[in-house]
Amino acid sequence: MAHPKRKISKTRRDKRRTHYKAETQQLTTCPTTGETHQTHRAHWVEGVLYHKGKIVMEK
């Protein structure tokens, strides 16, 4: 197996990882309730859980 001959410094490691960044959250509007929520996520509105515009669970 390959094994590093020298320890890679924290600076060098972090330079390599500069491209991994958190992206802004994608938001959409629910067609049923009109609430803004994250895409591909269920969301609570007034004690009711919605997903894809349909009721999934009631509190």
Q: What pLDDT score does 20 carry?
A: 76
7-55: pLDDT as tens digits: 999 999 999 888 877 788 899 999 888 999 999 999 999 999 999 889 9
Ordered by start, the domain boundaries in the chain are 26-59
> In degrees, to the nearest 5, what angle opens at C-alpha 47 toward C-alphas 43 and 38?
10
Residue 15 to residue 36: CA distance in whole angstroms: 36
Q: What pLDDT score does 1 carry?
A: 79
Residue 18 to residue 33: CA distance in whole angstroms: 39
Q: What pLDDT score does 45 carry?
A: 93
Q: What pLDDT score does 23 carry?
A: 83
| Report field, pTM of the whole predicted structure over 0.95 | no
Please, which residues bridge with residue 55 across strands?
A: 50
Phi, psi (rounded to 5 degrees) for 22 = -75, 135
